[in-house]
Copies of this chain bind each other. A is one copy, B any other.
Amino acid sequence: MLENKEYKEVLKREGLKNTKHRTSILEVMEHSEVPLTAEEIFIRLKEWNVAISLSTVYRVLETLVTKDLVNKSSISNDSKALFEINRMEHKHHLVCMGCKKMVSVEGCPFEEFEKKIQGTNGFDITGHKLEIYGYCAECKHGK
């Protein structure tokens, strides 16, 4: 499962050593539709029989974030950070308040709105984050 050539180049391009840990972590994220916590990545690596320590997961993720290969975020009122591979596509998520499941949603209503407030207060806008909360089909019925 774990043998990807393209990551070797990505890492080299960024001046990072090509280690199994790094490519494996990138693969785990590549295979996930939704952002993952460091611990979830750690667990998936174990399932793939990749021996690694949790602190290395954190260190690799931090490195990848500074290289802009990975995005770090979090959902409100949850203490754990989330990481997702930077696919360079602009996406938002529906977050279920019951099970914390996240679902991608197409589209973004901001291109214009952002321009509208661009310049307001002298602010130089670089980006935004949108989270939509609610209850997924399963959790809705449980309520």
Residue numbers of A with Cβ under 8 A of B are 72-74, 76-77, 79, 81, 94, 96-97, 103, 105, 107, 109-110, 112-114, 116-117, 120-137, 140
Contact = CB atoms under 8 A, between A and B. Distances in A.
Contacts of A120: 94, 105
A114 B124 CA distance: 26
> For the complex formed by this chain, how many copies does it contain in all?
2
A63 B81 CA distance: 25
Contacts of A105: 117, 120
Nearest to A140: B124
A131 B133 contact: no
A126 B121 contact: no
Contacts of A76: 72-74, 129
A107 B109 CA distance: 13
A135 B124 contact: yes
A123 B79 CA distance: 24
A77 B77 CA distance: 13
A140 B73 CA distance: 23
A112 B112 CA distance: 14
Given A94-B125, A107-B113, A127-B134, 16 more contacts: A72-B76, A73-B76, A74-B76, A76-B129, A79-B79, A97-B126, A105-B120, A121-B136, A121-B137, A123-B134, A123-B137, A126-B133, A126-B135, A127-B132, A128-B133, A129-B133
